[in-house]
Amino acid sequence: MEEVKLPPGRSEKSAPDSEKKTGIEIKTIVIISLAIALVILAAAVIMLKNALKADEEYLSAQASRVFEYYGERDVIVLDDPTYGDIWLDALTDVPRHTLDFDNVKVENGFKNYYEDGVKINKTGIDVSYHQGDIDWEAVKADGVDFAMLRVGYRGYESGMINIDERFHEYARGALDAGLDVGVYFYSQAINPEEAYEEANAVLEEIKDYEVMYPVVFDWELVGEESSRTNDVAAETLNECAAVFCNTIARGGHIPMIYSVKRMALMKLDMSRLSGFDFWLAEYREEPEYPYEFKMWQYASDGKVNGIEGEVDLNMSFVDYSEVRR
């Protein structure tokens, strides 16, 4: 076997001591590294705690600031089906309603509003040819005071004005049964000229009837790709509403605007239109709409004797038959 030669100055006995020394040096390095890591970790924890504390203080301050900010404003909080609670600045030039819906009682399937134990509302329905044959005597006997009849509509694709095929039949039947009558037109006007045309078409159709309740501008979003009204700007819509209602007023009738809560608050300019009576459609136990309204469509699934199927139910807080006399 070949002899293993050690480097100068080393012997077989000294080799283990050198390896031991190297091991100690490694352990020392590891310990120092761990210590440094612990120091860094401790510093990071302290920095994190300080950051969290700063964030907490910031958020607390922001929450307080936001609360105070909104506290200085008149705001309306609404329940939106898409976004949940939404905040809107209240209109300062539009009167709020003063109705207390704890005063509403359901009687014979209708909602009635009481003040000091006296019912102050009138009960109504609104119908179009979709309701089919109507026994108006039975409707009257069931407790209905007035009927809002669809006089016609503009096609959302064609743009043509159409008269409801049963309007004249309904008008004669309701009046003969002793009901008060109002009318509405389903508008799809895309400019004020079309709204003016619609109003004049309505005045022509109702001229031979005693229309005691309002003549209503009912413009609704269709949501179909083929609808010609999809791109109508809010400003144009408000101009259409104003032109229609002013034309009706000049024709000797009470104009009114019909809308659902969301469109009334987000698309209609109620500051501009508040001079016209408003008919609210909102199917809740208590409407969220904060401003004044004269009529409330509170159900679309009502049952009334003399009509097969469901029908819209309304209460009017104004007896328009007395207003017109």
Q: What is the pLDDT of residues 118-157, one digit of tens each?
A: 999 999 999 999 999 999 999 999 999 999 999 999 999 9
Q: Is residue 246 part of a domain?
A: yes
Q: Is residue 88 part of a domain?
A: no
| Same-domain pairing of 149 and 277 | yes
| Same-domain pairing of 181 and 320 | yes
* Domain at 232, CATH number: 3.20.20.80
What are the angstrom distances between the C-alpha of 49 and each of 6, 38, 134, 288? 59, 16, 74, 44
Tokens of 135: 């026994």
Cβ count near 267 (within 10 Å): 16
Burial pattern 171-198, b for ≥16 Cβ within 10 A else e, equals bebbbebebbbbbbbbbbbbebebbbbb
Residue 220 has pLDDT above 60, yes or no: yes
Q: What is the pLDDT of residues 161-214, one digit of tens each?
A: 999 999 999 999 999 999 999 999 999 999 999 999 999 999 999 999 999 999
Q: Which whole number is the average pLDDT over 235-261?
A: 97
| Same-domain pairing of 67 and 205 | no
Contact present, 253 and 215 (Cβ < 8 Å): yes
In angstroms, the CA 148 to CA 48 distance is 67
Total tally of structural domains belonging to the chain: 2
Instruction: Report pLDDT for 75.
Output: 79
Q: Is residue 10 part of a domain?
A: no
| Same-domain pairing of 51 and 164 | no
In angstroms, the CA 231 to CA 167 distance is 30
Q: Is the pTM of this model over 0.85?
A: no
| Same-domain pairing of 62 and 112 | no
Q: Which whole number is the average pLDDT over 226-231?
A: 93
Q: What is the pLDDT of residues 265-287, one digit of tens each?
A: 999 999 999 999 999 999 999 99
Residue 304's domain comprises 94-324
57's CB contacts (< 8 A; 6+ apart) are none
